């Protein structure tokens, strides 16, 4: 596969003051739409699969499709495992050619998160693969990952500094008020906390659960040092809305290409919009 380590993409974003989307692949249409959007806007690209998407699509199909999609790409592309739950899953992704992995030990006590993340960093860095980790816990739902609001917790800036020093991770996902999935109320981001985290850690900071966050807040987060912004639900909703519209407009339609094709176009338009908000267009 024609891939680069995610750290190459994010270190440039960190220096340049913009963010790159971590865009989730759910099926072939998502992959094609996201790659086309990045090509057209000349944006570096981080394609990511959750473990749920891997289960749904299958590792061989993910690798085969990404191989096909990146054969002629002219922008740098990283393939990243999103919310990796164990050392074993991470090793499986590395063996299959992923150029980046996330180990999500955010539900473990601090010392256990450090130990597991350090172990992943040692193995991944030995073969040139980047590592993202998470400290603090986001609420909401993504695939099989569901965290009740009462169990969510914000990232402690002092702990973040210690965590980065002891693990050697390339990027750190922080919890500052975003949540996975659809927001019940209005999301309130703790920008002071983000500022303090960024003063203490120099590596790229990652914002998860970015769907539904207003443009102004996203831009502010980027201006305060967020370099990777994860989006999935917004694109799923764009796809579903278009497919519903097609089916409602023509009750006779049955060809999946006439149903999913417009859905693919809707994802692409939503991805382009997000790339522009994040400022990664024209950075190649």
Q: Which residues bind ligand G3H (CB under 6 A)?
A: 24, 82-83, 142, 180-181, 208-211, 230-234
- Out of Zn ion, ligand G3H, none, which partner does residue 211 contact, by CB within 5 to 8 A per kind? ligand G3H
42 and 273 Cβ atoms separated by less than 8 Å: no
Whole-number Å distance between alpha carbons of 269 and 259: 16
**What does the radius of gyration of the chain's CA atoms come to, in whole angstroms?**
18
CB of 232 to Zn ion, least distance (A): 8
For residue 252, give Cα distances in angstroms to 242, 248, 249, 257: 16, 9, 9, 14
Name residue 211's beta-bridge partners: none
* Residue 80 binds to Zn ion (criterion: CB under 5 A): no
Closer residue to ligand G3H, CB minimum distance, 105 or 209: 209
CB of 16 to ligand G3H, least distance (A): 22
Q: Residue 231: which H helix or E strand, with range?
A: strand 226-231
- Out of ligand G3H, Zn ion, none, which partner does residue 104 contact, by CB within 5 to 8 A per kind? none
CB of 274 to Zn ion, least distance (A): 15
Active site residue 8: no
- Out of Zn ion, ligand G3H, none, which partner does residue 210 contact, by CB within 5 to 8 A per kind? ligand G3H
For residue 136, give Cα distances in angstroms to 23, 30, 158, 160, 238: 21, 29, 12, 9, 29
- Out of ligand G3H, Zn ion, none, which partner does residue 231 contact, by CB within 5 to 8 A per kind? ligand G3H
- Out of ligand G3H, Zn ion, none, which partner does residue 181 contact, by CB within 5 to 8 A per kind? ligand G3H
Can you point out the beta strands (E) in 32-126?
Answer: 45-49, 77-84, 100-103
Closer residue to Zn ion, CB minimum distance, 51 or 156: 51
Q: Considering 8, 60, 82, 255, which one is annotated as catalytic?
A: 82
Q: Are strands 139-142 and 145-147 parallel, antiparallel or unpaired?
A: antiparallel
Closer residue to ligand G3H, CB minimum distance, 187 or 261: 187
Count of residues for the chain?
Answer: 284
CB of 213 to Zn ion, least distance (A): 13
* Residue 208 binds to Zn ion (criterion: CB under 5 A): yes
Nearest of 94, 163, 174, 76 to residue 130 by alpha carbon: 94
Whole-number Å distance between alpha carbons of 138 and 145: 10
Which one of 68-76, 202-210, 216-224, 270-278 is the stretch in contact with Zn ion (CB under 5 A)?
Answer: 202-210
CB of 184 to ligand G3H, least distance (A): 13
Q: Which residue is nearest to Zn ion (CB)?
A: 208
Residues labelled as active-site residues: 82
User: Which residues contact Zn ion (rule: CB under 5 A)?
Assistant: 208, 230
């Amino acid at each position: 596969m024609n891939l680069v380590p995610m750290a190459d993409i994010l270190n440039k974003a960190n220096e340049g003051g913009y963010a790159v989307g971590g865009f989730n692949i759910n099926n072939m249409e998502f992959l094609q739409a996201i790659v086309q959007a990045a090509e057209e806007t000349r944006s570096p690209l981080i394609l990511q699969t959750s473990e749920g998407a891997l289960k749904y699509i299958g590792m061989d199909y993910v690798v085969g499709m990404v191989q096909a999609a990146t054969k002629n790409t002219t922008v740098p592309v990283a393939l990243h495992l999103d919310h990796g739950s164990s050392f074993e899953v991470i090793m499986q992704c590395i063996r299959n050619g992923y150029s980046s992995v996330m180990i999500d030990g955010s539900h473990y006590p601090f010392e256990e998160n450090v130990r597991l993340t350090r172990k992943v960093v040692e193995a991944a860095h030995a073969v040139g693969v980047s590592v993202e980790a998470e400290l603090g816990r986001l609420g909401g739902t993504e695939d099989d990952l569901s965290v009740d609001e009462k169990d969510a917790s914000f990232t402690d800036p002092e702990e973040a500094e210690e965590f980065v020093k002891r693990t050697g991770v390339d990027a750190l996902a922080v919890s500052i008020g975003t949540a996975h999935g659809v927001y019940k109320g209005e999301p309130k981001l703790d920008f002071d906390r983000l500022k303090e985290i960024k003063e203490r850690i120099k590596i790229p900071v990652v914002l998860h659960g970015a769907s539904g966050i207003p443009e102004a807040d996203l831009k502010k987060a980027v201006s305060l040092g967020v370099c990777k912004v994860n989006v999935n639900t917004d694109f799923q909703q764009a796809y579903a809305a278009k497919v519903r519209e097609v089916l409602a407009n023509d009750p006779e339609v049955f060809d999946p290409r006439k149903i999913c094709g417009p859905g693919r176009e809707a994802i692409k338009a939503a991805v382009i919009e997000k790339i522009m908000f994040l400022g990664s267009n024209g950075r190649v």
